[in-house]
Structure 1
């Protein structure tokens, strides 16, 4: 069969299964099995066993369930309340007021959990009712929370960044270093948008400023352990004292101590955190299994090589290639979650990117930002579903509220392309 027909069969099978609501991991596995049966004479069972074992036996992946567990523990504590109450006194005087707390708290929690959905849910539980009570516009509450929640994919420790590093065989520690400055810069751009919006709507933007300033010292004391946990986890990686896996174990221990100190660590919350982390890890591992096996099946058909040669024959400039990849991932994000987009496409994209001469640390940061866009792109954007469940608003309203943050991320992609040192400077300095 021709390669074009192979592509049609692979894609049609995959999207039919996804459209029927079949789990992403299972859809990938079934598509791979069909492809192996049609296009190769290789024993399917043997190939599946070898491939899946190879995908799951990476030592680097041990950091994944630990970081997920750390986020699950803190998700079930008073962390969101601590963040809101601790950051609000410092951010409320900026143009835009307490809307900045959505961004600030999301950035801090992103540095702990590594999960976009967990960031939105945790910060939103506290900020949505507080900001609504003070008459902040609902579309700004939802929009800023939707955009800032995506920082969980970029600011270390990022679960998606770990998956990318394992997939392309790059250092997780260096990827974390590369993502730090862009993550903070993107958070500042979100805050800049809030400032600009508030100045343009000064005549109609009149929130109630009734924030209780009593007990400020105690709030700062409560915030210190959270900041120390972040410093310990990320600092141990950047300083070279610990690997990503060892830092993840430190984070779990620190989160257990922090939640116990907050007196929110109960038997029920501990069991719930374990179950939640097992479910999330199992879901990610199933996707990795399916993606790895599908990559093998596609490799036998020659599809990745054919696509790479086709794009290479176009003789695109690096900027043109990045523009096409950006559009490609935005469209893909309308149908797949960010994690699936990464693992499903790397077998084809990685050779093209390396051939074009891109630094893979820079590309990892770029990819996280583009995948962040998918988190707020209907109809599959995970952050949109989380916010819909929390607010009860329809998907159209949430999507419109999130669109300005989508535009901000598009602008930041342009900045990252023009100033690649944002991602490459810190790893270069700390690696010397």
Structure 2
């Protein structure tokens, strides 16, 4: 009972601090210190020693080097015309499919997700060209916005994924196996989205009107040429990992070198682009790593208070089936997604939910994929869904309209979670094939 009360106090303090507008980093640190002082009676000098050890440990972790590198790669690409090349490359390849150019949102985000670890970067890069082009061609605004919101979240699932790196570090799971586990579920989500668009366009062809363009075989071949820069980056990043040439951290550096090479070949690398991309990567990396350190401190504080252990024992005593446990956790994560971003959700909840999942017999690699899928839901749920705000900035539509357009894709993502839960081999087969 004491651990339950402590857990409720910690949870209440988190919502109070974040609700008052505190930065996530400072809010989590204050909650951790307050919990240890008020509930554990720990002296401040000992808390200082604990915090110092955690900061040093996480700041010097080699695995964390991948985060700023992948972010920098995405920043470099974001400042080029790669999104325009994606649209021009995909347009002739999807024009004959029901839904036509709406599939450029799905396929464009899927491809860009494979060279960027960020959901918001994927949404912004693809959306900055497709939202304008599709609107000018008379495509249904709701389907355009909704498909972009849903597909943009694939930046969290399809490797390389910053969120998966964070999960792997905190859960002590192989990041290479996590990357492999995210590929097939990511393609499954993309396929479900495209199928939905085909059904909607088949029922009402006016949602995706045929334009004046008629693409020849030569146009389609030239479209593939436009996609070569993206394919090149995907091959060198993922190929270096799965061939054993590089670790995920080293592959991130390979990706940055590849992005610089591509932009130099495209003659788009200037001093301003280089400096701006470096500044953007620095800001985002500091934010992500500071949240990660604060969450590690919170996790340690909760361990001292006995919250994860006692909560796990309490739920284990309820004799819930694995399906019932996943259902409860899914509702829990959907609720958290209304208030927190994906990274915060993972780092704050993992100390409690991972022991429960492993106790119920779920593979930690599969649970990582499940958790990323749940954080993807947070990207498209108001009031703090990052993808919604990105799309609002791109289109000028109200956040309510954007959220309404994204709702069908939220439900499709829930369907994807159910399928991956029923058939866990979708996530676990490829890691087993590649790594044994």
User: Within 5 Å, which residues of 2 pair with 1:134-149?
Assistant: 134-149=137-152
> Does residue 21 in structure 1 map to residue 21 in structure 2?
yes
Is the contact between residue 40 and residue 300 of structure 1 (CA under 8 Å) also seen in structure 2?
Answer: no
Match of 2:229 among 217, 222, 225: 225
More deviation, 317-326/36-45: 36-45
Q: Which residue in the other structure is 2:341 paired with? A: 337
> Does residue 192 in structure 1 map to residue 195 in structure 2?
yes
User: Within 5 Å, which residues of 2 pair with 1:281-292?
Assistant: 281-292=285-296
Q: Which residue in the other structure is 2:41 paired with? A: 40
Q: Which residue in the other structure is 1:328 paired with? A: 332
> Does residue 304 in structure 1 map to residue 308 in structure 2?
yes
User: Within 5 Å, which residues of 2 pair with 1:138-287?
Assistant: 138-202=141-205, 204-205=206-207, 207-211=209-213, 213=215, 216=219, 217-287=221-291
Give the TM-score taking structure 1 as reference length. 0.97
User: Within 5 Å, which residues of 2 pair with 1:94-173?
Assistant: 94-173=97-176
DSSP-derived class of the 2:138 partner? coil
User: Within 5 Å, which residues of 2 pair with 1:2-13?
Assistant: 2-13=2-13
Deviations 1:12-40 (A, max 9, x none): 22111111211111110111111122123
Match of 2:78 among 70, 75, 78: 75
TM-aligned CA deviation for residue 400 of structure 1: 0.7
> Does residue 375 in structure 1 map to residue 379 in structure 2?
yes
Residues 206 and 317 of structure 1: CA distance in aligned 2, closer, same or farther (over 3 Å)? closer
Is the contact between residue 157 and residue 369 of structure 2 (CA under 8 Å) also seen in structure 1?
Answer: yes
TM-aligned CA deviation for residue 425 of structure 1: 0.6
Is the contact between residue 102 and residue 208 of structure 2 (CA under 8 Å) also seen in structure 1?
Answer: no
Is the contact between residue 153 and residue 160 of structure 1 (CA under 8 Å) also seen in structure 2?
Answer: yes
Residues 211 and 112 of structure 1: CA distance in aligned 2, closer, same or farther (over 3 Å)? farther
Residues 206 and 403 of structure 1: CA distance in aligned 2, closer, same or farther (over 3 Å)? closer
More deviation, 70-79/293-302: 293-302
DSSP-derived class of the 2:12 partner? helix
Q: CA RMSD in A?
A: 1.5
> Does residue 417 in structure 1 map to residue 408 in structure 2?
no
> What number of residue pairs does the alignment pair up?
431
DSSP-derived class of the 1:284 partner? helix
Provide the rounded CA distance (Å) in 2 between the counterparts of 1:181 and 1:4.
38
TM-aligned CA deviation for residue 208 of structure 1: 4.8
Is the contact between residue 3 and residue 311 of structure 2 (CA under 8 Å) also seen in structure 1?
Answer: no
DSSP-derived class of the 1:11 partner? helix
Provide the rounded CA distance (Å) in 2 between the counterparts of 1:74 and 1:225.
10
Provide the rounded CA distance (Å) in 1 between the counterparts of 2:254 and 2:304.
42
Deviations 1:343-387 (A, max 9, x none): 111111111111111111111111111110010011111101111
Provide the rounded CA distance (Å) in 1 between the counterparts of 2:361 and 2:56.
31
Provide the rounded CA distance (Å) in 1 between the counterparts of 2:223 and 2:391.
27
Is the contact between residue 35 and residue 297 of structure 1 (CA under 8 Å) also seen in structure 2?
Answer: yes
Provide the rounded CA distance (Å) in 2 between the counterparts of 1:395 and 1:125.
17
Is the contact between residue 101 and residue 208 of structure 2 (CA under 8 Å) also seen in structure 1?
Answer: no
DSSP-derived class of the 2:244 partner? coil
Is the contact between residue 78 and residue 262 of structure 1 (CA under 8 Å) also seen in structure 2?
Answer: no
